[in-house]
Chains A and B, each alone.
Chain A
Amino acid sequence: MDEARPLWATPLQFVFACLSYAVGLGNVWRFPYLCQMYGGGSFLVPYIIMLTVEGMPLLYLELAVGQRMRQGSIGAWRTINPYLSGVGVASVVASFFLSLYYNVVNAWAFWYLFHSLQDPLPWSVCPLNGNRTGYDEECEKASSTQYFWYRKTLNISPSIQESGAVQWELALCLILAWLLVYLCILRGTESTGKVVYFTALLPYCVLIVYLVRGLTLHGATNGLAYMFTPKMEQLANPKAWTNAATQVFFSLGLGFGSLIAFASYNEPSNNCQKHAVVVSIINSSTSIFASVVTFSIYGFKATFNYESCLNKVILLLTNSFDLEDGFLTVSNLEEVKSYLASAYPSKYSEVFPQIKNCSLESELETAVQGTGLAFIVYTEAIQNMEASQLWSVLYFFMLLLLGIGSMLGNTAAILTPLTDSKVISSYLPKEAISGLVCLVSCAIGLVFTMEAGNYWFDIFNDYAATLPLLLIVLVEAAAVCYLYGLRRFESDLKSMTGHALNWYWKAMWGGVSPLLIISLFVFYLSDYIITGTLQYQAWDASQGQLVTKDYPPYALAITGLLVASSTMCIPLGALGTFIVRHLKRGDTASVA
């Protein structure tokens, strides 16, 4: 008998591992955006409903499968039914794509972290132009934070066709990120189990500090009021419900095989039902908590911009009409404007086109998500705080912790099936397999550090793990309920944990959750088909803003390949098993 399977030292380590995997960047930069787009406080209604109906049952299912089968995703699904080995392979492929591009975000977080220890913050000032009479043109047209992100960090090219060279600074940060991940997964659960204490708990400390700071910022209440005033009419919008379902689904990280991998290192008697409920509730609470922080910072930024806008108008009027300095204030702006319009009509009409209509509402309405939120909007807010270096370091350190925590889960999903396989683990020790996987991923990940790398990042982010995952989880749920048998699984769980299976879980697994996933799947497909050719946002340096462009055919081909390579594993796996069995039956038939 080969050596016993490594186990988590305590069940707490398992909970923390699941938490640090599930609580990731999506909680910070996607949920607040969805909240803002789909009705603020009223978005919580579809979100909580989807959590109880779809998130918790599917999470419990994955944990139970992993704990019962005590193998990584490939072995687990092969044990459930030999024709399903393709499901495990699809999970591993999807996890591989995910870890390829996810670690690039960690590289960016490292880059910003290292640059936070300067005074002034490099993204708060524009560099000077050639003859030192003004600021760099691209920086003037965009803002200094956008310039730092698009030019200094990414050095982005105008379109996806122009790949450009590998940016050595980013490449170094990427290598460091992969080294750090390797350090954490080197010893398997022994090392991962200790690291997850940090990656699970420290982000909360930082979030609490930020909450206190955020709530005390000038103008934070504007943002909070904007977020929490429910817009009930959004409940009738089907997009709100589908986005809530999608967010719950992807936030928990279902279908990648990471949860199965983590649960496989559990004691068989572990109460995974309790853990599933706990993890999903904490994950969602973190999303809401993070959006409170985000919106107080939004409010601060919007108020700051609104007041700057007003000050610019005041300066413009003061200069044009040579009024006494300090005479125009925010309070008397409107009446003075009307006075000037009546007293000096010709001059006023000259100046009028330049007077911007400053509106707090429009500032608050600029909803951003993803890397734009994390690296442009947040940095813009941070640069205006006092002691901005400290807040910047804290913020990017938190992003790093969240990212590394999720990477631990991603790599566990790839490594557990590899280390379970007797073929590979007999040749290479665990450390070498991990090192090889990290090395290969790092080498391929260098693609994302090229000048067009961000465009490829967006492709991977939007397509590599969305559609295939829905299919994988659908097959998983259907397989456990109908192929393996719900009754058989129920008795397995009962003998394993000692608790009977609640009727609620059976109803969800058997009926509701698969139906939800099918409808999500149909919705996604119809969305892709209706929108026709896919487009992307490219940065135009001459205008200092994003422009929409069409993907070239080869990019579309690669996108299709990405989706197909994980989805096709399922039928191909079934076909492969069928052929092998047929051959074996043919052999035994010929022998007999």
Chain B
Amino acid sequence: MLWLLFFLVSAIHAELCQPDAENAFKVRLSLRTALGDKAYAWDTNEEYLFKAMVAFSMRRVPNREATEISHVLLCNVTQRVSFWFVVTDPSRNHTLPAVEVQSAIRMNRNRINNAFFLNDQTLEFLRIPATLAPPTDPSVPIWIIIFGVIFCIVIVATMLLILSGIRQHRRKNKGPSEMEDTEDKWENTVKIENGIPCDPLDMKGGHVNDAFVTEDERLTPL
């Protein structure tokens, strides 16, 4: 009699947890990819931990606080390591709806990953998409800060150059005008000796005769 009951129970369990059964999810672990040499072997103890984590996740869903480890069924464990699991209700006759299991796992994904030293890529729940971490968005984009700094430097340098150029220009304009004043004073006093002006040649209005002097030939070539 007891044997019959045992077979019945395991038969029902077997029906509930099957590949592609209703409300069943496939899990895939890549231990060697994640941990390399430190990879642990996947045995029944690890499976127990897994069942415990799933039960823990379900207990955090309102109305499902009574979920026990024994309600989580695993089957078809392969070498990969991959297996299927379902979560049954306390009566052990029906499986909990996939939507509930999905949301529970998604909320506690981080805890489950950490229990096994794995991450979203190496501990995969097929058909349960992971919530991806958004990239950190600082309040002011960094590039604007750097842009502002370089922009200010360039503007300041440009202003400095322009101002020094204006100052140089003013100094040049003042310089020759001062010289011109003293020259005018000299020229106004025409030196006269014996009634004849000393400078018969009008050097002020002299022109350079271009036919004789070209700029290139002033220095003899080597």
Question: Do A322 and B78 touch (CB < 8 A)?
Answer: yes
| A424 nearest CB across to chain B (Å) | 17
Q: How far is the CB of A274 from chain B (nearest CB, A)?
A: 16
A182 with B143, Cβ < 8 A, contacts A176-B151, A322-B78, A323-B80 known? no
Mark out the residues of chain A between 302 and 340 whose CB falls within 8 Å of any chain B CB in the assembled complex: 318-319, 322-326
**Interface stretch of the complex, out of B55-63, B92-100, B153-161:** B153-161
A-B contact count (CB 8 A): 86
Do A325 and B32 form a contact, CB below 8 Å, given A173-B147, A186-B165, A187-B165?
A: yes
Q: A173-B147, A179-B151, A322-B80 are in contact. Are A495 and B132 (CB under 8 A)?
A: no
Is B175 part of the contact surface with A, judged by Cβ < 8 Å? Answer: no
In whole angstroms, what is the CA distance A104 to B212 when docked? 52
Please, how many angstroms separate the alpha-carbon atoms of A133 and B28 in the complex?
Answer: 19
Q: A114-B147, A323-B80 are in contact. Are A495 and B142 (CB under 8 A)?
A: no
Q: Quick one: which of B71-109 are within 8 Å of A by CB? A: 78-82
Q: Which 6 A-B pairs have the closest CB atoms?
A: A326-B32, A114-B143, A322-B78, A322-B80, A324-B79, A133-B129
Within 8 Å of chain A (Cβ to Cβ): is B54?
Answer: no
8 contacts between A and B (CB under 8 A): A114-B142, A132-B134, A172-B147, A179-B154, A319-B82, A325-B30, A429-B165, A495-B216
Contact yes or no, A498 B165, CB < 8 A: no
Which of A187, A319, A498 is within 8 Å of B80, CB to CB?
A319
Q: A117-B146, A326-B33 are in contact. Are A318 and B80 (CB under 8 A)?
A: yes
Measuring CB to CB, which residues of chain A are less than 8 angstroms from any residue of chain B? 110-111, 114-115, 117-118, 120, 125, 127-128, 132-135, 172-173, 176, 179-180, 182-183, 186-187, 191, 268-269, 318-319, 322-326, 429, 431, 495-496, 498
Q: Which residues of A contact B147 (CB under 8 A)?
A: 110, 114, 172-173, 176
With both beta carbons as reference points, the residue of chain B lying nearest to A311 in the complex is identified as: B33
- CB-based nearest A residue for B159: A183
- Are A118 and B30 interface neighbours, CB within 8 A? no
| Closest partner residue, chain A, to B76 (CB atom) | A322
Instruction: Find A431's partner among B79, B157, B165 (CB 8 Å cutoff).
Output: B165
Size category of the B interface is 35 or more
Check B17 for interface membership: any CB of A closer than 8 A.
Answer: no
Question: Contact at A325–B31, with CB atoms within 8 Å?
Answer: yes
* B111 interface contact, C-beta 8 A: no
| Residue in chain B with minimal CB distance to A175 | B151
Residues of chain B within 8 A of A127, CB atoms compared: 135
A187 to B169: give the CA distance in the assembly, Å.
12
B9 CB–A CB distance under 8 Å = no
Cα distance A134–B130 in the bound complex, in angstroms: 8
Cβ of B24 within 8 Å of any chain A Cβ, yes or no, is no
Residues of B contacting A172 in the complex (Cβ-Cβ under 8 angstroms): 147, 151
Whole-angstrom CA separation of A36 from B143 in the bound complex: 35
User: How far, in whole Å, are A275 and B28 apart by their CA atoms in the complex?
Assistant: 68
The residue on B at minimum CB distance from A191 is: B161
Asked whether, in the complex, the Cβ of A183 is within 8 Å of the Cβ of B157, the reply is yes
Q: B206 at interface (Cβ–Cβ under 8 A)? A: no
What residues of A have a CB within 8 angstroms of the CB of B31 in the complex? 325
Complex Cα spacing A348 to B75, Å:
24
Closest residue to A498 on the B side, CB-wise?
B222
- For the complex with contacts A134-B129, A325-B30, 20 further pairs of A-B residues with Cβ separation under 8 Å are A110-B147, A114-B146, A117-B142, A125-B135, A128-B132, A128-B135, A133-B129, A133-B131, A172-B151, A176-B147, A179-B154, A179-B158, A182-B158, A183-B161, A191-B161, A269-B222, A319-B82, A322-B79, A326-B39, A495-B221
